[in-house]
A and B are shown apart, each in its own frame.
Chain A
């Protein structure tokens, strides 16, 4: 049987001034099952976001290919929803209209149906009472929830999240991780979540792919679903199991983070 998502020997090299330049991703292959929450964990600038963007059709692999539901990914579309860290919602639209935007270009639904779906997901992220607020006037965490609601409302086959909680404070982040994990289980949505935060990765993931510094290679694959229960709460974060898991992953990432930092330096 074909896999839901298959990344097949993908490499990526960004051209610099026309010449072959930065080698970002080095021969990565993986398979993802439907309904799985997969986290790409790696140091900043390692290329994990680029890999995720290729799944979304926003970048093209230099070689190799990406198959989603048996079809090769050729470009962005409604099947592959995105949540970004910043500029994740439109300031000129109110909260509810931002969520509705996810359905705006669907001709197969009536306006009434779109409205119903939008309100449903707004409620799922707990923002119903803020539907008439401008997004600039709600908190950063709420803005990310608006973006999540919009993306769920659009009904994508796969959800791609690029460090969506990276700019939030620690308490807010924990809360949103909890909410997102619950939402993913409930909706049985396939998710790729990119982060460099080890605890975030361990808490959210069914499976973690730990990436090396640039060019990104898969260092290790950790089946979190074998180590932690399906549904997770804040107590789990305090448990010894979680603590040991976190330390083990931290050990893996530490050296990569140092290497990655040196790679960021472009010159004097």
Chain B
């Protein structure tokens, strides 16, 4: 293979997609083998470190016997609801921030202030205001992502080259035309990347929300398993989040390549 293995250890060497995927799979196998070896050698008692096999069996049991699929479903529902609300608000708002100085001036400092508040610190407030139902969880995820996303979107919009805007202005486009036909398509590739990253944060905040106060969801399953030191169940829960995260991320990357084929 011409330059195949050599390029992998070359400074800034060429990356080929097939090889990169193989390396990705290889890294998973290495971690699994290490884990399995540590468990088989009983480096730690099984209560602390169950074997990969035990976790997989437990995962399967949870799915078919204990309705874990419902918990996964409700967690995904919470994440996507909050994420979509965040995105639906942040995208127009961010674009407005980049378009009109008054919107930017009025919101920049306020957003920065809220953005630096750690989400867990807001849990008591969301519970006082909204109780422990779905609304408070979605509100928490929204708080954690909206203010970040709005700034990312505003930056994406600001990075649209001045020339593109001026092509619009000199072909008779009104500001709304420029936003719809130029700014939005121009910023879309980087915005989709930012949405993908924000979706990942949603999962972090979801588990916080579900660990603090919930009676369903992956975070709840993990937390109740911990109470009885069912480490295999805790790890099965973590595994579920990891798999969902990986799958979503890969799916969005795939869509990104398909939608933005003109970039390559």
Q: CB within 8 Å of B: which residues of A?
A: 56-58, 75-78, 80-82, 84, 86-88, 90-92, 101-106, 134-137, 150, 154, 156, 160
Are A76 and B170 neighbours in the complex by a CB distance under 8 Å? yes
Whether A80 contacts B170 by the Cβ 8 Å rule is: yes
Smallest beta-carbon distance A62→chain B, Å? 20
Query: How far is the CB of A97 from the nearest CB of chain B, in Å?
Result: 11
Q: Which of B163, B177, B262, B264 contacts A92 (CB 8 A)?
A: B262
Once A90-B164, A92-B262 are accepted as A-B contacts, the answer to whether A82 and B170 lie under 8 Å apart by CB is yes
Residue of B nearest to A106 (CB): B172
CB distance from B182 to the nearest CB of A (A): 7
Q: Is the CB of B186 within 8 A of A90?
A: yes
With an 8 A cutoff between CB atoms, is B38 at the interface? no
Kindly provide the distance from the CB of A150 to the nearest chain B CB, expressed in whole angstroms.
8
Across the A-B interface, the 3 shortest Cβ-Cβ residue pairs: A78-B172, A87-B163, A76-B169
A90 touching B185 by the CB < 8 A rule? Answer: yes
Interface residues of B in 230-264 (CB under 8 A from A): 260-264
A136-B263 in contact (CB<8A): yes
Q: Which residues of A contact B174 (CB under 8 A)?
A: 105
- What are the residues of chain A within 8 A of B164 when measuring CB–CB? 87, 90
- Could you give 17 example pairs across A and B, Cβ below 8 Å? A56-B170, A57-B169, A58-B166, A58-B170, A76-B169, A84-B167, A90-B167, A90-B182, A90-B185, A92-B185, A92-B188, A101-B171, A105-B172, A105-B174, A150-B167, A156-B170, A160-B170
Q: A84-B163, A87-B163 are in contact. Are A78 and B171 (CB under 8 A)?
A: yes
Taking a contact as CB atoms under 8 Å apart, the answer to whether B163 and A77 are in contact is no
Q: Interface centre among B166, B185, B188, by most A CB within 10 Å?
A: B166
Chain A residues touching B, majority SS: loop
- Which of A104, A137, A156, A160 is in CB contact (< 8 Å) with B181? A104
Give the number of A-B contacts (CB < 8 Å): 72
Q: Report if A136-B262 is in contact (Cβ < 8 Å); known contacts: A90-B164, A90-B186, A104-B181.
A: yes
Residue of A nearest to B160 (CB): A87
When distances are taken between beta carbons in the complex, the residues of chain B under 8 Å from A136 are 262-264
Query: Pick the contact of A91 from B163, B167, B263 — CB < 8 Å?
Result: B263
Question: Which A-chain residue is minimally distant from B169 (CB atoms)?
Answer: A76
In the assembled complex, the Cα of A134 lies from the Cα of B260 at a distance in Å of 11
Contact partners of A106 in chain B: CB under 8 A = 172
In the complex the two chains form, is B171's CB within 8 Å of A91's CB?
no
Report, as a range, how many residues of chain B touch the other chain.
20 to 34
Question: Quick one: which of B168-190 are within 8 Å of A by CB?
Answer: 169-174, 177, 181-182, 185-186, 188
Q: Does B161 contact A (CB under 8 A)?
A: yes
A154 to B166, CA, bound (A): 14
Pairwise interchain contact B170-A77, C-beta atoms closer than 8 A:
yes
Residues in B neighbouring A78, C-beta threshold 8 A: 170-172
Closest B residue to A76 using CB positions: B169
Question: By the criterion CB–CB under 8 Å, are B262 and A91 in contact?
Answer: yes
Q: Report A-chain residues with C-beta under 8 Å of the C-beta of B181.
A: 101, 104
Contact of B177 among A86, A105, A135 (CB under 8 A): A105
Q: Which residues of B contact A75 (CB under 8 A)?
A: 169
Smallest distance from the beta carbon of A18 to chain B beta carbons, Å?
15
Is B169 touching A58 in the complex (CB atoms < 8 A)?
A: yes
Min C-beta distance of B107 to chain A, whole Å: 23
List residues of chain A with CB within 8 A of the CB of B263.
91, 136
Q: A82-B166, A90-B164 in contact; A77/B182 too (CB < 8 A)? A: no
Bound: A58/B182 CA distance, A: 17
A85 to chain B, nearest CB (A): 8
For the complex, what is the distance from the CA of A77 to the CA of B167, rounded to whole Å?
A: 10
- B172 surroundings in chain A (CB, below 8 A): 77-78, 105-106, 154
Q: Are A84 and B166 within 8 A (Cβ)? A: yes
Q: How far, in angstroms, from A111 to B220 measured CA to CA in the complex?
A: 57
- Segment 126-159 of B: residues with Cβ below 8 Å from A: none
Q: Is the CB of A88 within 8 A of B163?
A: yes
Q: Which residue of the partner chain A has the closest CB to B188?
A: A92
In the complex, what's the smallest C-beta–C-beta distance from A105 to chain B, in angstroms? 4
Q: How far is the CA of A214 from the CA of B263 in the complex (A)?
A: 38
Contact with A along B209-222 (1 / 0, CB 8 A): 00000000000000
**B185 surroundings in chain A (CB, below 8 A):** 90, 92
Other than A81-B170, A105-B174, A134-B262, give 15 A-B pairs with Cβ distance below 8 A: A58-B166, A76-B169, A76-B170, A82-B167, A84-B167, A91-B263, A92-B185, A102-B171, A103-B171, A104-B173, A104-B181, A105-B171, A105-B172, A136-B262, A160-B170
Residues of B within 8 A of A58 (CB): 166, 169-170
Cβ–Cβ < 8 Å partners of A77 in chain B: 169-170, 172
CA A259 to CA B21, docked complex, whole Å: 55
Question: Given A87-B161, A104-B181, A134-B262, are A92 and B170 also a contact pair (CB < 8 Å)?
Answer: no
Q: Which residues of B contact A87 (CB under 8 A)?
A: 161, 163-164
